[in-house]
């Protein structure tokens, strides 16, 4: 399992007004953060930290690709990821994260960016993710289409045979007469 220690940034230990960190993310990273939706990927992350008077401005640049299931055929597909994210971090009494401001305990002074980076990646994945036309698993697509066709025709037959609908149809004919 991958060590997540390099993702912990000691804010009180930053001496320069601008610091940079680089991370390479692979399948072991997603396993180590116990990622619920993405389990494979190959990404490069650059983090630039600007030390300001009373806070730190983090700029994350993430580029690469992740492997996610296609919404149609459930087969694995490569999803390119490129994102720019900004985060402001301040030192305070207790840890909190609200919107774009994260407060880190001043006693500890360490920000673990491993989960934040995962969230930025997750937010970069489109809501609908499908293969390019013609790239879906044809066997799965055919099975799905056969099931959907069979199921919808079975539901139509049930509607026709339902006695409650037959009673309403009789009532409609009586009203028309």
Model pLDDT, residue 164:
66
Model pLDDT, residue 65:
96
Model pLDDT, residue 45:
97
Write the CA distances from 125 to 14, 89, 95, 120, 130, integer angstroms.
32, 25, 28, 9, 11
Model pLDDT, residue 14:
87
Model pLDDT, residue 144:
79
Q: Which long-range contacts (CB under 8 A, 24 or more apart) does 53-57 make?
A: 54/90, 55/88, 55/89, 55/90, 55/91, 56/11, 56/14, 56/88, 56/89, 56/90, 57/86, 57/87, 57/88, 57/89
Model pLDDT, residue 29:
93
Model pLDDT, residue 134:
85
Residue closest to 8 by CA, chosen among 41, 32, 27, 38:
32
Give me the residues of the chain with pLDDT under 70, please: 1, 149-165, 177
DSSP three-state, residue 2:
coil
Distance from C-alpha of 31 to C-alpha of 39, rounded to nearest angstrom: 7
Model pLDDT, residue 96:
83
**Beta partners for 176?**
none
Q: What is the reported pTM?
A: 0.76
Model pLDDT, residue 27:
93
Model pLDDT, residue 18:
92
> Is 56:30 a contact under the CB 8 Å cutoff?
no
């Amino acid at each position: 399992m991958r060590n997540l220690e390099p993702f912990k940034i000691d804010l009180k230990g930053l001496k320069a007004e601008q610091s940079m960190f680089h991370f390479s993310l692979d399948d072991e990273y997603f396993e180590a953060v116990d990622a619920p939706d993405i389990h494979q990927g190959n990404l490069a992350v650059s983090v630039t930290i600007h030390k300001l008077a009373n806070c730190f401005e983090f700029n994350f640049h993430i580029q690469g690709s992740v492997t996610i299931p296609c919404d149609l055929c459930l087969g694995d597909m490569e999803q390119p990821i490129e994102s720019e994210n900004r985060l402001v971090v301040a030192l305070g009494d207790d840890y909190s994260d609200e919107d774009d401001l994260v407060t880190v305990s001043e006693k500890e002074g360490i920000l673990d960016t491993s989960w934040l980076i995962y969230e930025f990646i997750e937010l970069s994945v489109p809501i609908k993710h499908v293969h390019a036309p013609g790239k879906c698993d044809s066997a799965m697509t055919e099975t799905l289409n056969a099931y959907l066709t069979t199921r919808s025709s079975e539901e139509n037959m049930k509607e026709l045979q339902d006695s409650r609908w037959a009673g309403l149809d009789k009532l409609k004919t009586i009203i028309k007469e």
